[in-house]
Every structure is written in C-alpha cells, then in structure tokens.
Structure 1
Amino acid sequence: MHIHPILQFFASDPRRDGVRPVQLWGLRLFFLLMLVFVTPNAWSVLLTHEDTWDPVRAIAFAVWATYPALALFGLLHPLRWLPLMFFTIGYKTIWLAFVAVPLWQTGTLWGTPTGEIAGSFLALPLLAAVVPWGYAWRTYFAWPRRTVEASATSASGAR
C-alpha cells in the first residue's frame, strides 16, 4: 500500500519506534528557535554585564546560555535530546503557573516585561504537541520491560 508523501510526514514511522516525521522536524524547529532566540540574548547579557552579579539572576542567565547551546545536539539527534525539551516544558510551565497566572488574574500582566516573557511562552502547547509522548514514556519513564527472550536467557543462566 502506497501512502502519499504528505501523509507519510504525519504517519507513525516504525524505523523510529513509531515517532512521526512531523514530530522529529517539530523538535528540530524548537531546538533551532532556542539557538536563534535564546542564545544571543543570554550571551549578550553575560558578556556585557558589569559590577557584581545577583547570584540567582546569574544562575538564570547561565542556564539560559547553556540549554540552547545543547540544542545544537538536538538539531542532530532530536530523540536523544528529548530531556532538554522536558526541561524546557517544565520550567516554562512552572513559570507561567507561579509568575504569569497570578498577574493575569489581577489584570496586571500585559504591557509589562513579565507579559512579554509570558507571551513568548504561549507557544508551549505547540512544543508539547511535537513531543512524541509515547516514545518518551517508553524510553524515559516506563519500567523496563522484560522480553520473553531475555527472561529465557536469564533463567537458563541461573541454573
């Protein structure tokens, strides 16, 4: 059965453990966006900062300079670097919940620097949509499955 090339882009790929090509390219796009938008901002702040750093602010910029640099590897091997996406989804979700939502509820979010950051984080559902959650669960979170073959090998070796 022949599948149209456009539909193949959205079809599960058995060669990649069921991950769809659209998900792989979506992950690559987000890794690229990290490199393009986060890296220059973080590094310019780090390289031009004068005086003594506030330690917490320094940690934030050090992290922001590091994780998009790691995104370069994600461009090449998006499935191997999924944990970087988990980190990104995690920190943005936590920030939105604890910083942006309370300000939004009081009507003081938009038109502020915090609102600008919140606006940039609103693509979070798109990021979550390109993560191959089934693959992620099987690879990073599920208890390792014992196959019949592995069970038979370990049973014969135990004798």
Structure 2
Amino acid sequence: MKEVSVIRLYLLRALYLLVVVGLGLLIWPGVIHHDKPWELMQGVVVCMLAAFSALCVLGLRYPLQMLPLLLWELTWKLIWLGTVAYPLWKTGSLAGATLENAIQCLVVLIFPFIIPWRYVYDHYLVKQAERWR
C-alpha cells in the first residue's frame, strides 16, 4: 500500500479546518444561544451539523482515520444536489432557501480533489474486512 503524501495530509487538515471554522461560525452560535425550541427537522439538521463539525476537530489530528466523515459529507451533498437542487435548477425554479443551500453545498466540489482516493480504495474496498466474530 502506498503512503499518503504529507501535502495531501495537510490538504485534508485544511479541509477539516474549513469545516470546523465554517460550521463553528454558522452553527455553533445557534446551538449555544437558541432561545426557543426548534422545529423537528431544523433541530435534527443543526445538531447533525454541530456533531459533524465537532468530529472534524479530530480530523485535524487524525486526517486519514476520520476520512469516513468526509466521505459521508461528500455523499449526502452529491445526493442532495442531484435529487433536489439539479431538478429545480433544470426547470428554472431553484430559488430562495433551496438556492442558498445549493450554493453552500457546492463547496463539496473541492472534496474529490483532496480526498486520497488510492487510500480509500486500499483501505475501504480491497483491505480484508474485520472479522464478524
């Protein structure tokens, strides 16, 4: 198995830092200082994003071990962009909060250039699985 370069590790750390700082500024103030109960889905989304940003702090120290976080983020955003935003954009009706969310989700387009795909292939696809018992 080929090692991941130091430059790629620093790029991964920069990506984790982007998530930590970005969501730290956008999400955490609302988590700490919200004054009224959230609607069900708003609460779910805010808490999931807060947990994601908190776990990305570990990515600063362990960029390869925390790769599944980035893969999850890449996957859900691509699914959302493909199944929600793109059909609306295609019909010319992408606007408002959905457009704003689509723009925020587009940051995911840098992920494929930073994720060490050879490492992902070696460690998640061809490496022998852990035993079941």
Q: TM-score, normalised by structure 1?
A: 0.72
Question: Is contact 1:39–1:64 with CA below 8 Å preserved after alignment?
Answer: no
C-alpha deviations, 1:53-97, integer Å up to 9, x for none?
322221111110011111111011101110111111011111111
Cross-structure match for 1:84: 69
Larger Rg: 1
Q: What SS class does the counterpart of residue 49 from structure 2 fall into?
A: helix
Identify the range of structure 1 (43-52 vs 133-142) with the bigger mean alpha-carbon deviation.
43-52
Question: Is contact 1:103–1:109 with CA below 8 Å preserved after alignment?
Answer: yes
Cross-structure match for 1:122: 106
Write the distance in 1 (CA, Å) between the matches of 2:104 and 2:37. Answer: 28
Cross-structure match for 2:45: 60
- 1:137 aligned to 2:106? no
Once the two structures are aligned, what percentage of the paired residues are identical? 31
Identify the range of structure 1 (112-121 vs 66-75) with the bigger mean alpha-carbon deviation.
112-121
How far off is 1:20 after superposition?
2.6
For structure 2, list consecutive stretches of 5 or more residues without a partner in the other structure: none
2:125 is aligned with what amino acid? F
Cross-structure match for 1:42: 27
2:93 is aligned with what amino acid? T
Write the distance in 2 (CA, Å) between the matches of 1:97 and 1:133. Answer: 22
Question: Is contact 1:42–1:65 with CA below 8 Å preserved after alignment?
Answer: yes
For structure 1, list consecutive stretches of 5 or more residues without a partner in the other structure: 1-13, 146-159
Q: Which has the higher contact order (CA 8 A, sep 6+)?
A: 2
Write the distance in 1 (CA, Å) between the matches of 2:29 and 2:66. Answer: 25
Cross-structure match for 1:93: 78
